[in-house]
Structure 1
Amino acid sequence: MNKPIHLEEGQDVTVKDRNFVTALSRGLELLRAFGAGSEYLGNAELSSRTGIPRPTVSRLTYTLKQLGYLEHNERLEKYRLGAGVLALGYRYLASMGIRDIARPHLQRLADATDCAVALGTADRLSMTYIEVCQARGPLVMRLETGSRIPMATTAIGRAWLCGIPEERRHHVMDDMRRQDPDNWPAIEQAIQKALDDYANYGFCLSEGDWERDISAVATPLVLEEGSEVMAINCGGSSLRLSHRILVENLGPRLKDVVEQIKRSLEPPRLG
């Protein structure tokens, strides 16, 4: 029996799939191994993180270095992400016109509420911020574009789960259960509460679930009749954002912002 290669939520491909390029998938897995607090990684660390044999890792890192996707520090004998990855990231962001359309709406909400407001998209079991707008006052949430935060414990992650089709959500939740079986009962309960909140309010909440001193509301941004699902959050210090403020103030404002963005995306009417 062939061992499945896990790609993303709900998608498994076996090594017998004639259309699946294993070498390419392994190279991409190496690039994914770098993250916050992991600027430099050696071949042994990359092998440990990805499960790819070290001799194969050595060949892949050499190739990725030659292509500009990795840089090698001879003194440390380790690698870090190169300019090629950054270029790809900027091309991806530049291709997403939704950022340009959403930015002014997000910034107005951030200024009006003195909160951080972000647009995010899913990446496996995390959410990646593709646009962040900050208010001018002192804020606790100093996350930037490109930041990755967990899906299960954050308002924006739960909102994204609420926005996707039920079948896909079940696949994602199965992945969460396999990744963290010990905490799964609490995670499942929190997601179910988020689904209930979304049904009742039209938005989700996270009150100290991700970071003890951070509270936020979030709602999905469903585009092109569900073919693309993102999410937007609005949050800040838990000391300032009580449950009442989240439910009666920030949540309704955030829903209005989502509707404004959707209207901005509508083609102009003729005649």
Structure 2
Amino acid sequence: MDSANNRKSASKSTRRVAADDIDERRFVVALARGLDILRAFRPGETLLGNRDFVERTGLPKATVNRLAYTLATLGYLRFDDAAGKYALDTGVLSLGFALLAGADSLELARPHMRALAREIGAAVSLGCRDGLDMIYLDTIRSETALTLGLAPGSRLSMLTSSMGRAYLAVQEPAARAALLDELGEAAGEDGAHRVEAAKRAIGDYARDGCCYSFREWHDDVNAIAAPFRDVRNGRWLVLSSSGPASSMDEAYFREVIGPKLKALAARLG
């Protein structure tokens, strides 16, 4: 009974990894809940209250109160008395810097990404998987054109983004099938439709060596992505490029950006 209750209460956390990968004897539910509180913040948000945490994590209010207090005591959150809400504090920042400082691939990729962004007039990004999302590690915007590009730390849907589809494309078939099932369930009513669209994009990878998202992640965004294996850390990273669909059509991404992005991924891998 306790195991079942833990699984249910940690549903938000366990959705970030494949359910079959969780060893419930070693999984610390309280820690997972605390990390869910930190992940509730979205790019551009500075203050969240307990009601926001409850809505975004699905945790009881009493649990949220204790977790937020604990995280504030440890320096990961800061309570703003005037607003009556919490902000991320320096403890989170130090963890992020520690990650980026050890990311040799990011340092290696950055000058090449900058050169490519300048050449193609589109944003070039590097990302990796984080649970059921993709997360931006860095983005280089074109210096010669007005381009799109999310900030480091931004999250993308694995099903609708070119970056997420490229990650799915290079997974082992059994692992990919299990992940698609979990993603479809998490997506709710639109899950089946999004999974089918992702499967078609995975077919593009088999043919073209990259994946696309044309007006699917956003109505006015076209994007392309190519994965490569980070041999230093043993994980898959994904390069992507995006731009306004109104000024950069599908043919430009397929015929111009695609070959250059794949060549860069091959060099970095």
TM-score between the two structures when normalised by the length of structure 2 = 0.89
Partner of 2:17: 9
**Aligned residue among 174, 178, 196 for 2:181:** 174
Contact map agreement 1:106 1:133 (CA 8 A) in 2: yes
**Aligned residue among 73, 98, 108 for 1:101:** 108
Partner of 2:166: 159
Please give the residue correspondences for 1:229-240 in structure 2 after superposition, counting only pairs within 5 Å.
Answer: 229-240=236-247
2:59 partner SS = coil
Amino acid of the structure 2 residue aligned with 1:71: R
Please give the residue correspondences for 1:53-72 in structure 2 after superposition, counting only pairs within 5 Å.
Answer: 53-72=60-79
**Aligned residue among 143, 155, 161 for 2:150:** 143
Distance 1:154 1:113 in 2: 20
Distance 2:194 2:202 in 1: 12
Single out whichever of 77-86 and 137-146 deviates more from structure 2: 137-146
Distance 1:138 1:113 in 2: 9
Amino acid of the structure 2 residue aligned with 1:150: S
Q: Deviations over 1:97-151 (max 9, x none)?
A: 1100111111111111011000001112221110211111332414222221222
2:188 partner SS = coil
Single out whichever of 107-116 and 158-167 deviates more from structure 2: 158-167
Distance 1:83 1:115 in 2: 33
Pair 68,225 (structure 1): closer, same or farther in 2 beyond 3 Å = closer
Cα distance, 1:207 vs. partner?
1.0
**Aligned residue among 198, 207, 219 for 1:191:** 198
Q: Deviations over 1:150-207 (max 9, x none)?
A: 2211111111111222222222211221122321232122111111110111011111
Contact map agreement 1:105 1:261 (CA 8 A) in 2: no
TM-score between the two structures when normalised by the length of structure 1 = 0.89
**Aligned residue among 226, 230, 254 for 1:223:** 230
Amino acid of the structure 2 residue aligned with 1:131: D
Q: Which runs of 5+ in 1 are unaligned?
A: 263-271
Distance 1:42 1:24 in 2: 20
2:218 partner SS = coil
Amino acid of the structure 2 residue aligned with 1:180: A
